Amino acid sequence: MTAARDLVISDLRERIAALEGEGNRKVGSLPFGVPRIDAVLPGNGLAFGALHEFAGGGSGTVDGSAAALFAAGVAARTRGPIVWCLTRPDLFFPALAQVGLKASQVTFVESDKEDDVAANMEEALSYGGLGAVVGEMVRLPMVTSRRLQLVAERTGTMALVVRRWRRQTEANDFGQPTAATTRWRVSVMPSEDLPVPGIGRARWFLELLRSRAGECAEFCVGACDDQGRIDISARFADGQDKAGRSRYSG
Amino acid sequence: MPAAKAQAVFRGLMLIDADPVADSVALDRLGLWALGHYSPIVAVDGTDGIVLDTEGADHLQGGELPMITGIVNLFRAKKLTAKVAIADTWGAAHACVRAIKRDTVIVPRGEIVRAVEKLPISLLRLPEKVVQDLRVLGFQTVGELSNTPRAPIALRFGPEVGRRLDQMFGRMSDPIDPIRTADLVAVSRSFQEPIGAAETINKYVGRLVVQLVAELEKRGLGARRTDLIIHKVDNTVQAIRAGTAKPARDVAWLTKLFRDRTEKIEPGFGIEKLELIAVSAEPLVQEQKASSLVEEETKDFTPLVDIFANRGQRVYRFAPFPSDIPERSVQRVSAVAEQSDVWWVRHWRRPVRLFDRPEQIQAIAMMPDYPPATITWRGKRHRVRKADGPERVFGEWWRTPNELEAVRDYFVIENDGGERFWIFRAGDGIDPETGSHKWFMHGIFA
């Protein structure tokens, strides 16, 4: 009985997936290597060929440094060259090198206008064969995000958008819907305690605000290590952050 | 001055016969050099000049003034004196450049009349005989000549005088016939009926690229800089230039570079001829690709770099630079540069965002080597919960002598909310020679 039902359901799933993704959609995902996070995401990881959105929380909305480093950690775990589109060149590459990106791997494309960032990202995504395309953007309207998502679907390249506002008040924009497959908010938290004076491993509060066909969740994680991996922070390993709140899933 | 008279004035004067043939050959060489560097449309102007149409090409050199100053300086470095003028028309530029005492002049748009009215008529590109006859009639300046009724002059000297005046003031077109060398790889296509639609232009550009690539392949070359010259029905010429970061002989790559900018073409009344020229080409040898079962093929993404660069975006990579001072430890290199994987220091924390100029903050700290207890940055007070440091950085006296004693002490601090900042104190905390002992915010960690 159950076996037959499983068969029917999996058959239905396949047919729906064939309807949704036109043509030969490249499937696959990039797992975080953290079972609890991967379990929440459909496909057990960040999907390739999709748009993912990251924003900083708290005072990090203006500089977006945690969001940028988180995106860099994801990009570092993909294969192939990375294109990073931006307008404000204040990234300090040694920090990105510390999460596993190689200097010879990342090409920066700096433009004067905000609109060019989206156009450049689209061009890089449609080129194919890249590991990931990262863009730092102030505004991400529905139309732009939809275009990026469609191009990413076509070539199977991962698109990562780091939202970066100029003022704290502009950050309300993050409430607007976009076509991104997942949306994350990364906020900094006090670092791990060391037995001696000093700063331990940085920790982030990771909120999965939206995940297409998945649940929302929040995690407290240790920041990216030298290979771009995050892990669930030791203090929260007892599961107190496990209660995923499904505010607007789907 | 006759040679004998000059020899009498200057003792030991060396005389060399004029060699007009060698001069014109040298001028041609100079024109070809300018063709590769400044503009797709270059021609020799008279016996002593070169004319360039730099419309739409000056921004590559940083604007009109930097471009012409650069030209003058290039010549001066070779102990030659060059004069450069920019004006709306060939005629005006021709006259101005031969009249000025300075090295450079730029005639603003629409100011031609004011610029040339006092210039002598000998600068009008007219035959010597006509100029002398006009002088006999009392004409000295261009202004006087242009204010005179045309009909009597045309009756006496022919239409040439009026034509030159009109060309100078921009009332008549004055096309520049660009020079080309024999070894330039060029293909062209003339149309029986003028074309104008974007799709048609795209189609023919695609065909020209195929022809050009075949031609390049025959000679074993790859294009570095390619011009698309568009001849229109009304005898005007437009040029589009596309550059590549590496020698290219790939149809899809080159086609994409031009199709991206089809919208910049103004067909006007129609295009009667398209010409595609590889202005600068470099040897490109055939390469054997390793066909192995296991090895992952990495896709060459130079074409993508070219697409960005031709759109006017800045494309670069970062590379380490041997310096302890954070802002000097990274340098931008070309996106196609061969890069060795040298690493920055990996065991010290580095901020994700580094400020261009460190921002001054107020800090309360125990001297000489404790981190601050509180800091005030952009009007907001942060209590320091945890801190790491100091990391001492010394000035680089081999760059500037006033950095001989300079010291910066960097601290990583974390406030109550978990925000982590990179701050430094100018000076070592003891010796006022080493710095002002003020505190600065330099970066933000994740």
> What DSSP assignment string belongs to B235-293?
S-EEEEEEEEEEEE--HHHHHHHHHTTGGG---TT-EEEEEEEEEEEEE----PPP--S
List, as ranges, residues 330-369 from B with C-beta within 8 Å of A.
330, 335, 339, 341, 343-346, 349-356
- Residue A236: HSE in the Cβ half-sphere, 13 Å Cα cutoff: 19
**Residue A6 has what pLDDT?**
87
Residue of B nearest to A190 (CA): B418
**Percent of chain B clearing pLDDT 70 (strictly above):** 95
Among the listed residues A91, A184, A193, the one whose alpha carbon sits nearest the alpha carbon of residue B351: A91
**Residue B338 has what pLDDT?**
76
**Residue B361 has what pLDDT?**
93
Say yes or no to pLDDT of A121 above 90: yes
List, as ranges, residues 307-336 from B with C-beta within 8 Å of A.
307-308, 311, 313-320, 326, 329-330, 335
Using a CB-CB distance cutoff of 8 angstroms, which residues of chain A are in contact with residue B359?
none
Say yes or no to pLDDT of A68 above 90: yes
Q: Give the number of beta-carbon pairs within 8 Å between A and B.
A: 150
- Segment among A7-21, A42-56, A139-153, B214-228 with least mean pLDDT: A7-21
Q: How confident is the model at residue B266 (pLDDT cuts 50, 70, 90)?
A: confident
Can you point out the beta strands (E) in B47-183? 49-53, 84-86, 104-106
Say yes or no to pLDDT of B290 above 70: no
B51–A contact, CB cutoff 8 A: no
Say yes or no to pLDDT of A20 above 70: no
- Segment among A19-28, A119-128, B32-41 with least mean pLDDT: A19-28
Mean pLDDT confidence for A56-76: 87
Among the listed residues B406, B403, B405, B411, the one whose alpha carbon sits nearest the alpha carbon of residue B441: B411
Give CA–CA dist B250/B217, Å, rounded: 10
Say yes or no to pLDDT of B295 above 80: no
**In 3-state terms, what secondary structure has residue A195?**
coil
Note every long-range contact of B373-381, with CB atoms under 8 Å and residues 24 or more positions apart, other chains counting: B375/B413, B375/B421, B375/B423, B375/B439, B375/B441, B377/B421, B377/B441
Pick from B296, B318, B346: CB nearest A103: B318
Say yes or no to pLDDT of A88 above 70: yes
Using a CB-CB distance cutoff of 8 angstroms, which residues of chain B are in contact with residue A134?
none
**Residue B421 has what pLDDT?**
92
Phi, psi of B208 (to 5 degrees): -65, -40
In this predicted model, which residue has the larger pLDDT, A249 or B46? B46
Mean pLDDT confidence for B237-256: 84
Quick check: B419 and A59 CB within 8 A? yes
Using a CB-CB distance cutoff of 8 angstroms, which residues of chain A are in contact with residue B311?
116, 120
Say yes or no to pLDDT of A244 above 80: no
Q: How far is CA A220 from CA A19, A43, A186, A242, B131, in A?
A: 36, 21, 10, 10, 88
Which of A199, A224, A227 best tests the B interface by mutation, with the highest count of B CBs <10 A? A199
- Segment among A77-81, B336-340, B347-351 with least mean pLDDT: B336-340
Pick from A103, A188, A191: CB nearest B339: A103
Domains of chain A: 29-236 (3.40.50.300)
- Segment among A20-29, B20-29, B99-108 with least mean pLDDT: A20-29
If you average pLDDT over every residue of chain B, what do you get? Answer: 86
Say yes or no to pLDDT of A21 above 60: no
Q: How confident is the model at residue B2 (pLDDT cuts 50, 70, 90)?
A: confident
**Residue A24 has what pLDDT?**
45
Say yes or no to pLDDT of A250 above 50: no
Query: Based on the number of CB atoms within 10 Å of its own CB, is A92 exposed (0-12), middle (13-18) or buried (19 or more)?
Result: buried
Question: Cis link prior to B175 (omega < 30° from 0)?
Answer: no
B179-198 pLDDT, tens digit each: 877 677 888 899 998 888 88
The residue type found at A155 is T
User: CATH number of the domain at B185-283, please?
Assistant: 3.30.1490.100
Which ranges in chain B are annotated with CATH 3.30.1490.100?
Answer: 185-283
Say yes or no to pLDDT of B293 above 70: no
Say yes or no to pLDDT of B154 above 60: yes
Say yes or no to pLDDT of A170 above 90: no
B51-93 pLDDT, tens digit each: 988 877 777 777 888 888 989 999 999 888 889 999 988 999 9
**Residue B55 has what pLDDT?**
79
Return the CATH fold of B20-169.
Answer: DNA polymerase; domain 1 (1.10.150)
Q: How confident is the model at residue A3 (pLDDT cuts 50, 70, 90)?
A: confident
**Residue A249 has what pLDDT?**
39
- Residue B179: HSE in the Cβ half-sphere, 13 Å Cα cutoff: 21
**Residue B294 has what pLDDT?**
54
Contact A141, B378 (CB under 8 A): no
**Residue A82 has what pLDDT?**
92
**Residue A246 has what pLDDT?**
43
In this predicted model, which residue has the larger pLDDT, B270 or A60? B270
Phi, psi of B313 (to 5 degrees): -90, 155
Say yes or no to pLDDT of B289 above 80: no
Pairing of the two strands A82-86 and A106-110: parallel
Give CA–CA dist B402/B423, Å, rounded: 22
Report for A43-47, B34-38, B309-313, B412-416: range of highest mean pLDDT: B412-416
Predicted ipTM of the assembly: 0.83
Both tokens of B100, joined, read: 């000025």
- Strand partners of residue B318: B332
The residue type found at B120 is P
Mean pLDDT confidence for A149-162: 92
A227–B contact, CB cutoff 8 A: no
The residue type found at B287 is E
**Percent of chain A clearing pLDDT 70 (strictly above):** 88
CA B367 to chain CA centroid, nearest Å = 51
List, as ranges, residues 167-196 from B with C-beta within 8 Å of A.
none
Pick from B299, B308, B352: CB nearest A69: B352
End-to-end CA distance of chain A: 30
Global pTM reads: 0.73
Give CA–CA dist B84/A237, Å, rounded: 73
- Rounded to a whole number, what is the distance in Å from the CA of A110 to chain B's nearest CA? 5
With left for phi above 0 and alpha for psi between -120 and 50, is residue B385 left, alpha or beta?
alpha
Give CA–CA dist B274/B278, Å, rounded: 14
Say yes or no to pLDDT of A242 above 70: no
A188-206 pLDDT, tens digit each: 988 888 888 888 888 899 9
Which of B302, B308, B349 best tests the A interface by mutation, with the highest count of A CBs <10 A? B308
**In 3-state terms, what secondary structure has residue A197?**
coil
Which ranges in chain B are annotated with CATH 1.10.150.20?
Answer: 20-169
Pick from A65, A123, A204: CB nearest B444: A65
Q: Quick one: CA torsion of B145, B150, B154, B159, rounded to 10 degrees? A: 90
If you average pLDDT over every residue of chain A, what do you get? Answer: 84
